[in-house]
């Protein structure tokens, strides 16, 4: 009976490619802890994100490759994940301490449901097992405390602010620091200071993803965020209306000027399905967001329907992804979260100079 060696196992697994990165798992460092006992081969598959949408396919490819080794009678495959940090940043920007990826969620105009998507997206990523932070970057109109169902102030420990935990997400907002109904009337330099404090004085350590919900437009907060830290990428939210699309293009242009890659576009309020007739109604110009994204060479992450339960969940502090996890909206948001995590991994592990 032939003796199975670790080298044989690694050679076999070296034939398995990551479907997105088109490089083998061994070279990518995704195979660890190979142990052989007789005909039993055990090893660990380390995915680049807990939200990997291709997990089952990669696992099956690994099993098939190892089963082809003569003498293998049993395969013990343990799957885990480890989010990789981005490539080395430019000299004038530094990674946020303890955070693997900062993801900005932006829009060209208000009223497109960006904050609703940001909080549900953060929760969807956390539901996969990722450690997720959510920063409300809208200093003037912080709506996320209501949407997340949080009304208590954070506390400090060892000189750092400890973010509030809600729905499995670490959360911070100016709305937690001011009285309800109090207006924040600040000039640009004060906004810059607030963003700097929210990034550096809040304990985000250990976060795989820090989702930053930006205010609409292309102003001071966007510039301050990108000047303060490395932003892995941005998600741009739009509705299918022509006005929203035009403003989304401006937001995309801003991120491009500031060298922040756009990971994808989401078309919110894309259509409406009547709960009485069960027919689909395209209230706006459905598909316009997807068409414009693809025309600009950007990934289209998905189309979200208009639904009263989503609005009600935001008003009541019960985000749909957490409160109704089996609803069509929640299922689509989890799919989009997986697609976003997939884009982040591709961007992070694609060699510099190679198209992602």
Structure confidence by residue, pLDDT tens digits, 35-57: 999 999 999 999 999 999 999 99
Domain that holds residue 218: 99-349
CB 197 within 8 A of CB 180: no
Residues 6+ away with beta carbon under 8 Å from 355:
none
pTM score, two decimals?
Answer: 0.90
Same domain, 240 and 117: yes
* Rounded CA separation 280/166 (Å): 34
Q: Strand (E) positions, 107-255?
A: 132-136, 155-157, 160-162, 164-166, 169-172, 207-213, 233-238
Same domain, 175 and 278: yes
- How confident is the model at residue 42, as a pLDDT? 97
Q: Is the pLDDT of residue 88 over 60?
A: no
- How confident is the model at residue 63, as a pLDDT? 97
3-class DSSP state of 81: strand
Per-residue pLDDT band at 293 (split at 50, 70, 90): confident
Same domain, 193 and 66: no
* Rounded CA separation 124/331 (Å): 9
Residue 27 belongs to a domain with what CATH number? 3.30.300.130
Domain tally, the chain: 2
Closest CA to 113 of 296, 338, 346, 336: 336
CB 181 within 8 A of CB 112: no
> pLDDT tens digits, residue range 197-231?
999 999 999 999 999 999 887 778 888 899 889 99
Closest CA to 288 of 271, 276, 310: 271
Closest CA to 212 of 186, 232, 183: 232
Residue 42 C-beta-side C-alpha neighbours within 13 Å: 7
Same domain, 135 and 230: yes
> pLDDT tens digits, residue range 233-259?
999 999 888 888 888 899 999 999 999
Q: Is 335 exposed, middle or buried (0-12, 13-18, 19+ CB in 10 A)?
A: middle
3-class DSSP state of 29: coil
In a domain, 178, yes or no: yes
Same domain, 123 and 181: yes
């Amino acid at each position: 009976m032939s003796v199975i060696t670790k080298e044989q196992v690694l050679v076999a697994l070296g034939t398995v490619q990551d479907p997105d990165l088109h490089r083998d798992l061994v070279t990518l460092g995704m195979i660890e802890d190979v142990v052989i006992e007789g005909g039993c081969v055990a090893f660990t598959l380390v995915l680049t994100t807990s939200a990997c949408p291709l997990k089952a396919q990669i696992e099956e490819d690994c099993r098939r490759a190892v089963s082809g080794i003569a003498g293998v009678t049993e395969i013990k495959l343990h799957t885990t994940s480890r989010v990789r940090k981005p490539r080395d940043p430019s000299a004038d920007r530094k990674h946020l301490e303890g955070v693997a990826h900062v993801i900005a969620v932006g829009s060209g105009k208000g009223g497109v449901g960006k904050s609703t998507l940001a909080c549900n997206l953060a929760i969807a990523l956390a539901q996969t097992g990722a450690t997720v932070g959510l920063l409300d970057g809208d200093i003037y109109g912080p709506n996320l405390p209501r949407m997340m169902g949080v009304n208590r102030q954070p506390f400090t420990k060892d000189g750092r602010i400890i973010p509030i935990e809600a729905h499995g997400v670490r959360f911070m907002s100016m709305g937690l620091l001011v009285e309800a109904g109090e207006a924040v009337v600040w000039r640009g330099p004060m906004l810059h200071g607030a963003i700097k404090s929210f990034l550096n004085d809040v304990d985000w350590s250990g976060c795989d993803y820090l989702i930053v919900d930006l205010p609409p437009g292309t102003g001071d907060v966007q510039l301050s965020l990108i000047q303060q830290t490395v932003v892995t990428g941005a998600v741009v939210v739009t509705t299918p209306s022509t006005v929203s699309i035009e403003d989304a293009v401006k937001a995309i242009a801003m991120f491009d000027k500031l060298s922040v890659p756009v990971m994808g576009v989401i078309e919110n309020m894309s259509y409406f399905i009547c709960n009485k007739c069960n027919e689909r109604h395209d209230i706006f110009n459905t598909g316009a967001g997807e068409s414009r994204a693809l025309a600009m060479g950007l990934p289209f992450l998905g189309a979200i329907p208009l639904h009263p339960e989503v609005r009600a969940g935001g008003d009541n502090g019960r985000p749909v992804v957490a409160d109704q996890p089996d609803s069509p909206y929640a299922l689509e948001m989890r799919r989009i979260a997986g697609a976003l995590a997939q884009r982040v991994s591709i961007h992070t592990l694609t060699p510099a100079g190679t198209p992602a």
